[in-house]
Structure 1
Amino acid sequence: MKHGICNLSIVPLRAEASDRSEMVSQLLYGETFKILDHRKKWSRVKLHLDKYEGWIDNKQFTAISKEDFNKLNDLPKQLLADLVNFLTNEREELNLITIGSNVAATKYLGHTFEGNRVESPLPKSAIVETALLFLNTPYLWGGKSPFGIDCSGFTQLVYKLCGYSLLRDASDQASQGEALSFIEESEPGDLVFFDNTDGDIIHVGIIMADHHIIHAHGKVRIDRLDHTGIFNREQRTHTHKLRVIKRIV
């Protein structure tokens, strides 16, 4: 068994082979991966989407052949466009899935899907519109769904829904795209990154019009953006220090 696919709605990806281990990311329905190390209860996997690695429970995925793995990843993406929807299996049981799930995988997993899907890249103008779907989603370290999401999971999922690829962590996303010198050069949909006192990039958000930013901090929220960083009007203080602005699209 060397390849697998997520056959459930949301599956935790953990740092170590234990239910008590830190959740570093999540797999959504239809995401595929290579199996690097298969043990009795856990497998270490490398996701096809962003090459992220971690451990998943063997009861929470389905093994597939290398041939099906390649076929699936060569297919045009068909992503769930609704925040939540349902699949049905051969017993007419409902399986909940969340936005960004790859519904092209249904034929390989014996499911039927009749909902809305995104099938082609969207214009850059759709990035902010898509991001607003997640407004008030609670922050969850490692999360990638409308039930809980972290800052880089948020930007990755929004870009994925619009047809663009981002790496998983904020520090890795900061290596992509073209750096801009000033906020005034930015456009809605560009990414903006923030660092800590050690200079490490620890946060990312999506630029909106009129010097605003949408980002996951406690929840997905909209704040002001200036040359210092993010200004939270509720706290009346800057919460994040600006490092760099990147244009990906």
Structure 2
Amino acid sequence: MTDRRLTPANGRVAAAHLKGRLAAERFVEGEAAGVAAPLADLLAAPEGARDRQLLLGEAVTVYERCGGWAFVQAAKDGYVGYLLEKALGPPVAATHRVAARATHVYPAPDMKRRERMALSLGARLAVTGTDGRFSETPLGFVPRAHLAPAELSENDPVSVAERFMGTPYLWGGNSAFGIDCSGLVQAALLACGIACPGDTDMQESLGTAAQGPPRRGDLLFWKGHVALVRDAETLVHANAHHMAVTIEGIAEAIDRIAAQGEGPVTAHRRL
């Protein structure tokens, strides 16, 4: 049984490496591309439900272009789905990533100018030069204070997650403009150079089973939900109860989730 979220095949086309394993009209190697929009929904089907989101500069492999849609697989986690074709461009040779919760791109190195677009933490950019307090990119000028070298990983997923405090909850969201529980965990871990899949059921295999009191950076799972432990008493998570990224007491969260009929903690993992 294949997982359609991780299997680059839609019946018409499939990745070449799947030949002999499943049926398709044709098998292709795919072409490299990059996300050219600030934020793009990755859908289960054209005009379908949102599974996840991809950020500016993230790499994908395109297996099919049809009717304004592209059937793609994301490089960061292998997630498969459909993007609007207009959201794609050539691969981005990123030199920097957005390390602040969010930032703006300006037409000139001047914060008083009207911004061109907003970018989320995790967006990837090719910096071509600097001008005072700004970095120059093909899209415009971005505050240098909001960027970090693409190859430089952070060392504390919890501190990354805390930058999203107050971000509204959004099912399938992966950005500072809306995020869900697994999106928050993925953003935090990827910023620290830790590979992380996109959905909670996949993330439950991360690390090893932990015993005893939770430690900072541990993951606590419920059915369909995940949170990052801040310390022995608190956690940070994107949750539909508060409709935002919040800090909550571990005991309070366990009791509240159980009272909502959503069951007990199903796993405690340590990275």
Within a 5 Å distance, the mapping from 1:85-164 to structure 2 comes to 85-88=103-106, 94-104=116-126, 110-112=138-140, 113-115=142-144, 116-119=146-149, 120-123=152-155, 126-164=156-194
Partner of 2:250: 225
- Correspondence 1:58 to 2:58: no
What secondary structure, in the 3-state scheme, does the structure 2 residue paired with 1:128 have?
helix
Give the SS at the match of 2:265.
strand
* TM-score between the two structures when normalised by the length of structure 2: 0.73
Take 1:27 and 1:205, find their aligned partners in 2: how far apart are those partners?
21
- Aligned to 2:264, the other structure's residue is in SS state strand
Query: Runs of 5+ in structure 1 lacking a partner?
Result: 196-201
Of 238-247 and 186-195, more deviation after overlay is shown by: 238-247
Most deviating of 139-148 and 238-247:
238-247
Change (3 A) 1:140 1:55: same
Partner AA of 2:216 in structure 1: P
Q: Does residue 27 of the first structure (1) align with residue 57 of the second (2)?
A: no
Q: Deviations 1:22-62 (Å, cap 9, x if unpaired)?
A: 11111101101001221131111000000001101111111
Whether 1:83 and 2:101 are equivalent positions in the alignment is yes
Larger radius of gyration: 2
Q: Which residue of 2 aligns with 1:199?
A: none
Question: Against the structure 1 CA distance between its residues 29 and 106, is the aligned structure 2 distance closer, same or farther, given a 3 Å change threshold?
Answer: farther
What is the distance in 1 between the residues matched to 2:67 and 2:215? 49
Counterpart residue identity of residue 116, structure 2: L
User: RMSD of aligned C-alpha atoms?
Assistant: 2.8
Percent identity, please.
25
**Which residue in the other structure is 1:198 paired with?**
none
TM-score, scaled to structure 1: 0.79
CA deviation after TM superposition for structure 1 residue 88, in Å:
4.6
Q: How many Å separate the matches in 1 of 2:56 and 2:228?
A: 25
Q: Is the 8 A contact 2:100 2:163 kept in 1?
A: no
User: What amino acid does structure 1 have at the position aligned with 2:157?
Assistant: I
Are the structure 2 counterparts of residues 245 and 94 from structure 1 closer, same or farther at C-alpha, using a change threshold of 3 Å?
A: same
Distance 2:127 2:61 in 1: 16
Is residue 208–residue 269 contact of structure 2 (8 Å, CA) maintained in 1? yes
| Corresponding residue SS for 2:229 | strand
Q: Which residue of 2 aligns with 1:187?
A: 215
How far, CA to CA, are the matches of 1:24 and 1:14 in structure 2?
A: 5
Structure 1, 238-247 or 53-62: larger mean CA deviation: 238-247
Structure 2, unmatched stretches of 5+, are 1-29, 130-136
Amino acid at match of 2:235: I
**Cα displacement string for residues 51-107 of structure 1 (whole angstroms, at most 9, x for unaligned residues):** 001101111111x3xxx57xx4xx6x63201222223569x9723211111124779
Task: Quickly say closer, same or farther: Cα 1:173–1:106, change in 2 above 3 A.
Answer: farther
Of structures 1 and 2, the one scoring higher in RCO (CA 8 A, sep 6+) is 1
Aligned partners of 1:148, 1:9: CA distance in 2, in Å?
13
Please name the residue that 1:9 is paired with: 38
Structure 1: distance between partners of 2:171 and 2:259: 25
**Would you say 1:208 and 2:235 are equivalent positions?**
no
Instruction: Give the Å deviation of 1:142.
Output: 0.8
TM-superposed CA distance for 1:110, in Å, is 2.5
SS at 1:230's partner residue?
Answer: helix
Quick check: 1:78–1:103 contact (8 Å CA) kept in 2?
A: yes
Q: Extract structure 1 runs of 4+ deviating beyond 4 A.
A: 235-240
- Counterpart residue number, 1:49: 76
